[in-house]
A and B are shown apart, each in its own frame.
Chain A
């Protein structure tokens, strides 16, 4: 949950990139870290990755990012990824603790549709175990790997993954080329700032 520090005039928010294995969560964070424009170098923290020897996320990737000052308050985002592999579900629950917003990174390829659906369901279950209802949490969906030969049409992905009572913003992306990465991040930060500044 977000923390407002009135003494230091800071608003701290946690964003988690969630999705199936190899859907591009870490790539999203790496691209943001490599290309984000910040006024001062101190605004962008170091990227920390707790990965296996084969470079798969074991616990999480993390990097802190300081955004513009709004209404006198400095906004600090903590960006996290969860491990995609199903065996690490307990770890995903731990990383989700205190989450304020989610970017669900789906793999656009037809053969990954089952994994997308299953991971989304796991995410809802994990949130439920933390007493968070998905309906109450700002989230966006990113359809990644749009450059893949077997990429399903967006209309199909929308029907499969974004067909709930609340239709959330979605973005097409090819994270490896940094396409759609910042559009996704901008939207989730916008939703969060709107939620906390206008309440």
Chain B
């Protein structure tokens, strides 16, 4: 039976990419979220934030908006943005399984976030992608 498994190297790769994104963009928090709603990895300042709920709501909001776009024959859907007064949220598609959720202060612009997030999405998608490993589980 094959199903997604994450190993230490995956998490290290995720962390490296997210740390770089946070450092360059000055975003508050970046999360890699599976589209079923699971929080896979986060980096940044998550103090006072319920990141589990945030991840679930983010993935479902993204899936719902994607579905909505398809209903109006809009097939090029790769990101969504929520503009706040203190913090805003940018959600970007990584691949068919994952999204990147970035929370940033309104002193930063969504354009700059997209600029810094684009290479991060590419790296996560190509190098650090969650893999479906055919290996059977070995419980130790």
Contacts and interface: CB of A to CB of B under 8 A. Distances in A.
B64 A91 contact: yes
B36 to A, nearest CB: 2
Given A2-B3, A6-B7, A7-B11, A98 B36 contact: yes
Interface string A67-87: 000011100001010000000
A8 B64 CA distance: 29
A80 B75 CA distance: 28
A56 interface: no
B6 A6 contact: yes
B67 A199 contact: no
Nearest to A12: B38
A4 B34 contact: no
A62 interface: yes
Taking each of B8, B38, B60, B139, which has the highest tally of chain A beta carbons within 10 Å of its own beta carbon?
Answer: B38
Nearest to B7: A6
A80 B34 CA distance: 16
Interface string A27-70: 00000000000000000011010000000000110101000000
B38 A3 contact: yes
Contacts of A133: none
Nearest to A95: B60
B23 interface: no
B11 to A, nearest CB: 4
Given A60-B60, A62-B56, A95-B60, A6 B36 contact: no
A7 B8 CA distance: 5
Given A94-B60, A197-B139, A4 B3 contact: yes
9 contacts: A4-B5, A4-B137, A46-B53, A48-B53, A62-B37, A64-B52, A98-B35, A98-B37, A199-B1
What are the 6 closest A-B residue pairs judged by CB atoms, nearest first? Answer: A98-B36, A71-B139, A7-B11, A4-B5, A7-B8, A5-B6
Interface of B: 1, 3-8, 10-11, 34-38, 40, 50, 52-53, 56-57, 60, 63-64, 67, 130, 136-137, 139-140
